[in-house]
Amino acid sequence: MIDLDGAMVGIVQFERRDVDYEVRQAAGHVDLGYLLLPEAWGRRYATEACEAALSWFAGALPGEAVVLITQTANVPSMRLAGRLGFVEVERFEAYNAEQWVGTWTPAAATG
Protein backbone atom coordinates (compact mmCIF):
# COMPACT_ATOMS: atom_id res chain seq x y z
CA MET A 1 0.00 0.00 0.00
CA ILE A 2 1.27 3.48 -0.82
CA ASP A 3 0.54 5.83 2.04
CA LEU A 4 0.58 9.59 1.54
CA ASP A 5 0.06 11.55 4.76
CA GLY A 6 -2.13 8.78 6.16
CA ALA A 7 -4.21 8.23 3.02
CA MET A 8 -3.90 5.27 0.67
CA VAL A 9 -3.05 6.53 -2.83
CA GLY A 10 -2.07 3.26 -4.51
CA ILE A 11 -0.72 -0.25 -4.33
CA VAL A 12 2.33 -2.17 -5.47
CA GLN A 13 2.08 -5.94 -5.50
CA PHE A 14 4.03 -9.05 -6.29
CA GLU A 15 2.11 -12.07 -7.52
CA ARG A 16 3.57 -15.50 -8.07
CA ARG A 17 2.11 -17.20 -11.12
CA ASP A 18 3.31 -20.69 -11.85
CA VAL A 19 1.34 -21.53 -14.99
CA ASP A 20 0.95 -18.99 -17.75
CA TYR A 21 2.35 -17.93 -21.10
CA GLU A 22 5.50 -19.71 -22.22
CA VAL A 23 7.39 -16.43 -22.41
CA ARG A 24 6.60 -15.73 -18.77
CA GLN A 25 7.99 -19.10 -17.78
CA ALA A 26 11.26 -18.06 -19.40
CA ALA A 27 11.27 -14.56 -17.95
CA GLY A 28 10.35 -15.45 -14.36
CA HIS A 29 7.42 -16.43 -12.21
CA VAL A 30 6.78 -13.34 -10.09
CA ASP A 31 4.80 -10.44 -11.53
CA LEU A 32 5.04 -6.82 -10.43
CA GLY A 33 1.81 -4.85 -10.49
CA TYR A 34 1.12 -1.20 -9.64
CA LEU A 35 -1.84 1.12 -9.50
CA LEU A 36 -2.03 4.69 -8.21
CA LEU A 37 -5.04 6.94 -7.93
CA PRO A 38 -4.97 9.58 -10.69
CA GLU A 39 -4.44 12.42 -8.21
CA ALA A 40 -1.13 10.81 -7.25
CA TRP A 41 0.23 10.53 -10.80
CA GLY A 42 3.15 12.57 -12.12
CA ARG A 43 4.87 13.02 -8.77
CA ARG A 44 7.25 10.09 -8.88
CA TYR A 45 5.37 8.25 -6.15
CA ALA A 46 5.02 5.10 -8.29
CA THR A 47 8.75 5.08 -8.99
CA GLU A 48 9.59 5.54 -5.33
CA ALA A 49 7.17 2.83 -4.20
CA CYS A 50 8.23 0.30 -6.85
CA GLU A 51 11.92 0.90 -6.16
CA ALA A 52 11.30 0.24 -2.46
CA ALA A 53 9.32 -2.93 -3.25
CA LEU A 54 11.97 -4.21 -5.66
CA SER A 55 14.68 -3.52 -3.12
CA TRP A 56 12.73 -5.54 -0.55
CA PHE A 57 12.18 -8.32 -3.11
CA ALA A 58 15.88 -8.54 -3.95
CA GLY A 59 16.67 -9.09 -0.29
CA ALA A 60 13.85 -11.55 0.32
CA LEU A 61 14.39 -13.69 -2.81
CA PRO A 62 17.98 -13.09 -3.95
CA GLY A 63 18.58 -13.74 -7.64
CA GLU A 64 14.93 -14.23 -8.56
CA ALA A 65 13.69 -12.28 -11.58
CA VAL A 66 10.58 -10.09 -11.56
CA VAL A 67 8.31 -9.93 -14.61
CA LEU A 68 6.28 -6.95 -15.71
CA ILE A 69 3.59 -7.09 -18.38
CA THR A 70 1.98 -3.91 -19.58
CA GLN A 71 0.34 -2.65 -22.74
CA THR A 72 2.68 -0.69 -25.00
CA ALA A 73 -0.13 1.87 -25.34
CA ASN A 74 0.14 2.58 -21.59
CA VAL A 75 2.80 5.25 -21.92
CA PRO A 76 3.13 6.15 -18.20
CA SER A 77 3.51 2.46 -17.35
CA MET A 78 6.09 1.92 -20.10
CA ARG A 79 8.07 4.93 -18.87
CA LEU A 80 7.89 3.63 -15.30
CA ALA A 81 9.14 0.21 -16.44
CA GLY A 82 12.12 1.88 -18.06
CA ARG A 83 12.90 3.99 -15.01
CA LEU A 84 12.82 0.89 -12.83
CA GLY A 85 15.30 -0.95 -15.05
CA PHE A 86 13.03 -3.53 -16.67
CA VAL A 87 14.46 -4.96 -19.89
CA GLU A 88 12.23 -6.06 -22.76
CA VAL A 89 11.85 -9.80 -23.27
CA GLU A 90 9.05 -9.95 -25.80
CA ARG A 91 5.84 -8.43 -27.06
CA PHE A 92 2.64 -10.31 -27.83
CA GLU A 93 -0.96 -9.62 -28.70
CA ALA A 94 -3.70 -10.16 -26.13
CA TYR A 95 -6.95 -8.45 -25.20
CA ASN A 96 -6.83 -6.69 -28.60
CA ALA A 97 -3.66 -4.85 -27.64
CA GLU A 98 0.10 -5.20 -27.86
CA GLN A 99 1.50 -6.43 -24.55
CA TRP A 100 5.07 -5.72 -23.42
CA VAL A 101 6.96 -8.24 -21.30
CA GLY A 102 9.93 -7.02 -19.30
CA THR A 103 12.17 -8.63 -16.72
CA TRP A 104 14.13 -7.20 -13.82
CA THR A 105 16.94 -8.59 -11.72
CA PRO A 106 18.98 -6.70 -9.13
CA ALA A 107 22.19 -7.22 -11.11
CA ALA A 108 20.69 -5.87 -14.34
CA ALA A 109 19.08 -2.92 -12.58
CA THR A 110 22.34 -1.80 -10.98
CA GLY A 111 24.31 -2.38 -14.18
Ligand X SMILES: CC(C)(COP(=O)(O)OP(=O)(O)OC[C@H]1O[C@@H](n2cnc3c(N)ncnc32)[C@H](O)[C@@H]1OP(=O)(O)O)[C@@H](O)C(=O)NCCC(=O)NCCS
Q: Which of 55, 111, 43, 105 is nearest to 80 (CA)?
A: 43
The size of the chain, in residues, is: 111
Residues touching ligand X: how many (CB under 6 A)? 16
| Cα 107 from Cα 11, distance rounded (Å) | 25
- CB-side exposure of 4: number of CA atoms within 13 Å? 15
Nearest distance from residue 81's CB to ligand X, in Å?
Answer: 9
- Mark residues 33-52: x for contact with ligand X by CB under 6 A, - for none: -xxx----xxxxxxx-----
Q: Judged by CB, which is closer to ligand X: 76, or 97?
A: 76
Q: Does 17 bind ligand X (CB under 6 A)?
A: no
**Footprint of ligand X on this chain (CB under 6 A)?**
34-36, 41-47, 70, 74, 76-77, 79-80
